[in-house]
Chains A and B, each alone.
Chain A
Amino acid sequence: MRDRAEVEEVVRQALRAVRTEEVDVGAGDALGLDSTQAMELIMQIEERLDISIPVDTLADSRTFDQLCSGIMRLD
């Protein structure tokens, strides 16, 4: 079982690396990335956590919270 706090920290770091604008994304806020940025975000998360995030998880991840929960549900 992955640690939720760790997942959140990894996603937050990845977001900081990808976003061009300085905006604090709250848990329920939309991630607000275009498709190129989104792919870079996913790549960063996959490499940091050594996982593979399927299409289904992406399709359901509008917000920071949803993305973290989606990652938690992966094996």
Chain B
Amino acid sequence: MREDRSNKAKEEATATVSGIALRRADFSTLTEALDYAAQGCTGFNFYDGRGELACVLPYRELREEAIRLARRLAAFDRGSRVALVAHTHRDFAVMFFACQYAALVPVPLAAAIHLGGRNAYIRHLRELVRDCGAVAAFAPADFVGMLHEAAGDLAVAHVGTLEDFMALPAGTELPAPPAAHELAYLQYTSGSTRFPRGTMITQAAAMANLEGIFNHGFEIAADDRFCSWLPFYHDMGLVGIVLGCVATQRSVDYLATRDFAMRPRLWLKLIAQNRGTISFSPPFGYALAARRVRPKDADGLDLSSWRVAGVGAEMIHPEWLTNFAEALAPARFDPRAFLPCYGMAECALAVSFVPVGGGFEIDYVDAERLARSNEAMHASAGASERKRSGFVNCGKALPGFEVEIRDEAGRLLPDRRCGRIFLRGSSVMSGYFGNPEASREVLSEDGWLNTGDLGYRVDGALYLTGRAKDLLIINGRNVWPQDIEHLAEQQPELRATDTSAFSIVSGEGGEAAVLVVQCREMDSASAASLARRLRHSVQAELGIECLVDVVPPHTLPRTSSGKLSRSSTRKQFLERHGVERASDLAWIGKGFCAHHASAGASPVSARGADQEPGSAGINAT
């Protein structure tokens, strides 16, 4: 945002009250939603890394500029994909809605670069631009050089900034606006390039979900105001905030994700100063803010206006929320504002919410019975912490959804029996773009979506207990083990069958990524060098810290069909090191183990070894 500061600094943020009658996302398409919002005086406000207002984009201006730009995009065939580097920037919003008016399909791409990660990021962009078959690609000025490199050898007709696209010749007519059955956008479910899965969401699906969220998830009011630092390439940030606020005519105060990560206090300051009422974050955001806010910061803030503090996108660890509430109690933060929810990009965004104003609620169940027979029965009152597991109530599904919990054989399970969560409803995706095989794996012909999540129900309320799929969720970000394993295979010592990645519980309750590699006997110095290379490579490519364990050949367990089993590797790893969580590893400070440790270092099978990493909460997207 810095480039905008000099000439726009004197503007005022958009008002909270729109001046037009509140409509709660009851539109059939996104262009209809913006056409209506543009009649009021609300809009987007972008703040810089110092918390100063850098740029204001009222919905009226957003609509006018998007239509002007749409005339320049109208030459592309209806339904073509346009890749958009989704930095938190006004130009992204303009491009996204220009695509809507031009009946094109925007595809938001990550705008996250890790230290020294230039080449990795360019490769990432290229893979996704290729996967979606984009005819054009946009990036704001800071990213456009890398986008040019990424798109260089692909058949992309036009690559550039908003100014570059504005310089294209304008057509006289706009195409007919998108119909309800046409695609509203493609959303990649993770940054994976080995495993790209672009969910196809129609206008009808997006609007059905927004309508459900803002009427039944939590009823939006005419004096609600949003504040958000969520990335625009994440479903919660894109669908929930960018599209949701247009569809409900709400003003938003935006902070770039990077600025939040550097100075979490700015998030709270913006809510306090603008009397924000609604803000969402993965649990990790609350944990980061609690860790970095000093007592004297909290004293100077007034967060009493914050009535909906949404929590989703990863496992909810109750203690993270409790820490946040305690740290911000002097700022009059009300813990009853916490609103756990569950969802995923495959359903546009949200599936379930708890009722507003109740805070979060934990169900304590008998851990042994859960592990033995998948029954989630109340733990006895005197049960020690080790004998019980706590799961957060994620609320009832929105009216548009049917929910089923099924066992491995596909049979329906009653309340308090843990199984796979299946969903059907009007906001479920049409499939993964260009990937019928992956689509068939999760979506049945009669419309049931296999979420890959495990959980149980009590009187309609959902409790998430873990994942059946091999996904890692690190700080709210989805990471596929295949991507980590692929990086590992680039090292000369390793072959494809020598690597296995998974996550275990970290010390703080989140997930820690682990990579186990097997290779022929080598001295400990060479093994240490391999481990260090692997850690750096994962850091530069994926931006996460990864624990590396180098083991002798033939250590990795295989299934009867000869395939490597990540869950068995994980179990074996925990047993080999005699721990239940990452913080207990003797070598945690170093981050790797290159001793070629022999199996059976600790024969005691830790109880937690059978449990999925996130056995205390939500795995929403």
Contacts and interface: CB of A to CB of B under 8 A. Distances in A.
Interface of A: 20-22, 30-40, 42-43, 46, 52, 54-56, 58-63, 66-67
Given A33-B115, A35-B475, A52 B2 contact: yes
A52 B261 CA distance: 15
B116 A31 contact: yes
Nearest to B113: A59
B258 A39 contact: yes
Interface string B160-195: 000000000000000000000000000000000000
Given A36-B475, A42-B262, 11 more contacts: A30-B536, A31-B116, A33-B115, A34-B539, A35-B114, A36-B288, A38-B114, A38-B115, A39-B262, A55-B143, A59-B113
Contact of A35 (B142, B143, B261): B261
Nearest to B540: A62
Contacts of A36: 261, 288, 475
Contacts of B142: 54-56
Interface string B107-130: 000001111111001000000000
Interface in B404-456: none
A34 B261 CA distance: 12
8 contacts: A20-B589, A35-B544, A36-B475, A39-B262, A46-B262, A55-B143, A59-B116, A59-B117
B543 interface: yes
Contacts of A35: 112, 114, 261, 475, 543-544
Contacts of A54: 142
B590 A21 contact: yes
B387 interface: no
A32 B539 contact: yes
Chain B interface bracket (under 10, 10 to 19, 20 to 34, 35 or more): 20 to 34
B263 interface: yes
B133 interface: no
Contacts of A30: 116, 536, 539-540
B545 A34 contact: yes
Interface of B: 2, 49, 112-118, 121, 142-143, 145-146, 258, 261-263, 288, 475, 535-536, 539-540, 543-545, 589-591
A59 B146 CA distance: 10
A59 B116 CA distance: 5
Contacts, number: 73
Which 7 A-B pairs have CB atoms at the shortest separation, nearest pair first? A62-B116, A43-B262, A39-B261, A59-B118, A35-B543, A34-B545, A30-B536
A32 B475 CA distance: 17
Given A34-B544, A43-B262, A52-B49, A21 B589 contact: yes
Contacts of B262: 39-40, 42-43, 46
A33 B263 CA distance: 17
B543 A34 contact: yes
A60 B263 CA distance: 23
B115 A62 contact: yes
B589 A31 contact: no
B116 A66 contact: yes
Given A52-B49, A56-B145, A63 B116 contact: yes
Nearest to A55: B142
Contacts of A31: 115-116
Contacts of B2: 52
Interface centre among B145, B539, B540 (most CB of A within 10 A): B539
A58 B258 CA distance: 12
Contacts of B115: 31, 33, 38, 58, 61-62, 67
A66 to B, nearest CB: 7
B394 to A, nearest CB: 25
Given A20-B589, A32-B539, A39-B258, A60 B544 contact: no
A55 B544 CA distance: 18
B543 A32 contact: no
A4 B115 CA distance: 20
A62 to B, nearest CB: 3
B49 to A, nearest CB: 7
Given A20-B589, A30-B539, A43 B263 contact: yes
